């Protein structure tokens, strides 16, 4: 019985780490991006590839974050519908952002220089439907879904999610939207909002 309990606790702790891994990887992307721009033209090359690999990993790690937050809300009826809508909106947005990161990686790998990158991006973005699906509309669901889910959990799971958590998430989203150079700080805000959930695991 003790062994089973220890295994369950280890599993819960491991699962809980994703609540910080996602923001940490996003922050890593922001830091590597800043370093790459500081020491090079930040075009095709190691800095670009490393930054966007971290970006892709961070987005993918947010999938279990959304699912974990959804599971945390032990509610029924209309409350369950609201939580599910927020979680699935976030997951759809995460899928769009992941596609965006994959495009960035492929373009960075194929292009010989920044001019070639710009041309490839233009060709991709000129495909009908790509801009709203991958760049301008659907990716926003990632941030809106996360903010909505955390806000709902403030009301449904006050024991786990602090009242200031939505403010921290909103600050992170706004900072990132203002300037990607602020992404490390924005990711830190989101990580702080999710930290109490990790501690409960």
Q: Cβ distance 23 to 187 under 8 Å? A: yes
Nearest C-alpha neighbor of 154 from the set 162, 146, 145: 162
Mean pLDDT of 172-176: 95
Q: Is 161 strand, coil or helix? A: coil
Mean pLDDT of 138-164: 93
User: What's the angle, vertex CA 120, arms to CA 117 and CA 123, rounded to 5?
Assistant: 150
How much is the pLDDT for 200? 55
How far is the C-alpha of 19 from the C-alpha of 123, rounded, in Å? 36
How much is the pLDDT for 7? 34
71-117 per-position pLDDT tens digit: 888 878 888 999 999 999 999 999 999 999 999 999 999 998 889 99
How much is the pLDDT for 161? 87
How far is the C-alpha of 154 from the C-alpha of 165, rounded, in Å? 8
Express as a percent the part of the chain with pLDDT over 70: 90
How much is the pLDDT for 9? 40
How far is the C-alpha of 4 from the C-alpha of 2, rounded, in Å? 5
Phi, psi of 26 (to 5 degrees): -60, -45
């Amino acid at each position: 019985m003790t062994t089973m309990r220890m295994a369950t606790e280890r599993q819960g702790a491991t699962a809980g780490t994703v609540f910080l891994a996602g923001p940490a990887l996003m922050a890593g992307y922001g830091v590597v991006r800043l370093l790459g721009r500081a020491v090079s033209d930040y075009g095709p090359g190691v800095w670009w590839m490393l930054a966007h690999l971290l970006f892709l990993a961070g987005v993918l790690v947010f999938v279990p974050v959304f699912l974990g937050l959804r599971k945390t809300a032990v509610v029924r009826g209309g409350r369950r519908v609201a939580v599910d809508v927020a979680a699935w909106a976030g997951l759809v947005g995460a899928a769009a952002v992941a596609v965006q990161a994959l495009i960035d990686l492929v373009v960075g790998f194929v292009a010989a220089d920044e001019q070639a990158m710009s041309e490839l991006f233009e060709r991709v973005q000129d495909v009908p439907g790509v801009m709203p699906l991958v760049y301008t509309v659907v990716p926003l669901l990632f941030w809106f879904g996360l903010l909505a889910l955390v806000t709902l959990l403030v009301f449904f799971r006050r024991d786990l999610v602090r009242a200031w958590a939505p403010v921290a998430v909103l600050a992170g989203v706004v900072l990132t939207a203002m300037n990607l150079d602020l992404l490390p700080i924005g990711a830190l805000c989101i990580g702080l909002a999710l930290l109490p959930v990790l501690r409960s695991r």
